[in-house]
A and B are shown apart, each in its own frame.
Chain A
């Protein structure tokens, strides 16, 4: 028995190679004239004939199905966007505590940009189980001036000069100890 004509070749299983499928379809083509010759005699139709009758009934059933593309809008609204939206304007801080950068850029020799999700780029790190550091990223301009200001501020807070590492290649400052909340507040007050 050859493969069914109404099914695409792919559904016959990935094991069947293209050459085998071609051979089988050619076999179907040779079987077809035999069926045409048998039908007027009234002989019980061959397997191909039975298949032909089955395919014609499914075609009738298929014509009852209506294709519509209007419901695709329910799929489209689920597809996510790629661009991060700009946050809406709030009067003062947002309910979560988030504050936007000030409209006027601060008149300082350095600049600290916001992260791509509009947050202040201060991160804490814990290595070796007990080594606490704070990382201040996305700095532009005079990084040494910013380091001086950070040291002055933290000396007022803690009483001792914090150890800092300035990385001029990546434009970031690493400070010994966890000072993320204090530094975030300090940068927000500055207007970054």
Chain B
């Protein structure tokens, strides 16, 4: 732990600069206003050469892609063994996995997710609620003391609080549906752009051993925390048993995918079914009418 701090800012900058100068030829390595956290751990990802024979495209996007955009590609991997991580290539829709990186929307959706469920139960008694204090403690004039009307006024020790938190307060608010959808798209885009998105054909595992799962995660350099997402809620037993004891590996159905979970886990592993489900659901919002009545009521082409 101390080694990270001792390495210092200069070494970190040099390492980052070396990586960036290779990608952006001709430009300076690092922008001058870049803030680097002092405990940044640089994990050197190994670059593997592409296979010499043609790579099969195992899944194409079902929805139409705009003519000026090209689909993004990701390797199709498998959890069956440690080495099965280049089965083929999967095409991802650019309107879900390559949108404009709106970090402000990502922040807004993350803050909304934290706060809309919050009910703060803090409550203090005001001068009306503190027991006692109905009687004037002494006469208005003549006693020589300051004039007071009740022993529970906010001026008094033991008196009520004048402007304290009053009762359960709700912090509920809803962001527009399209903003929340855009947040999911931006999060998926960011994961893909940072090489933290992996696509798996299914979540079948040969053993329920957590060590096997951790070995795969470490070997394929997926990061410290991994989120497995499948389209339906029926997960294979082996994966559930393996992930049950692990703190850093979690499993989630695709309807539960949210920006907070994606930001919390370093790496996101989607099954092919989950990719199809997410593309279908998120692309529907791009070409839908504004609702005449809530979507939970029946429409002719909405399930």
- A residues bordering B, Cβ < 8 Å? 76, 79-84, 105, 111, 113, 116, 140, 169-171
Contacts and interface: CB of A to CB of B under 8 A. Distances in A.
A84 B67 contact: no
Contact of A82 (B66, B68, B104, B288): B288
Given A169-B104, A171-B100, A82 B302 contact: yes
Contacts of A81: 289, 299-301
A84 B66 contact: no
Contacts of B102: 169-170
A4 to B, nearest CB: 33
Q: Which 3 A-B pairs have the closest CB atoms?
A: A105-B68, A79-B300, A82-B302
Q: Is the interface of A mostly helix, strand, loop or mixed?
A: loop
Contacts of A80: 289, 292, 299-300
A76 B298 CA distance: 10
A62 B295 CA distance: 36
B287 interface: yes
B300 A84 contact: no
Given A82-B289, A82-B295, A171-B100, A105 B300 contact: no
Contacts of B172: none
Given A83-B288, A140-B68, 16 more contacts: A76-B300, A80-B292, A80-B299, A81-B289, A81-B299, A81-B300, A82-B291, A82-B300, A82-B302, A83-B284, A84-B288, A84-B289, A116-B287, A140-B100, A169-B102, A171-B100
13 contacts: A79-B299, A82-B284, A82-B288, A82-B300, A82-B301, A83-B284, A83-B301, A105-B67, A105-B68, A113-B66, A116-B287, A169-B102, A170-B102
Contacts of A170: 102
Contacts of B291: 82
B216 to A, nearest CB: 37
Contacts of B295: 82
B286 A116 contact: yes
A76 B301 CA distance: 11
Nearest to B299: A82
A105 B300 CA distance: 34
A171 B100 CA distance: 9
Contacts of B289: 80-84
A171 B102 CA distance: 10
A84 B287 contact: yes
A135 to B, nearest CB: 17
A84 B289 CA distance: 6
B69 to A, nearest CB: 8
Interface string B274-299: 00000000001011110110010011
A83 B100 contact: no
Nearest to A102: B67
A111 B100 contact: no
A76 B299 CA distance: 9
Contacts of B298: 79
A145 to B, nearest CB: 15
A111 B298 CA distance: 37
Contacts of B292: 80
B231 to A, nearest CB: 21
Nearest to A114: B66
A99 to B, nearest CB: 16
Contacts of A171: 100
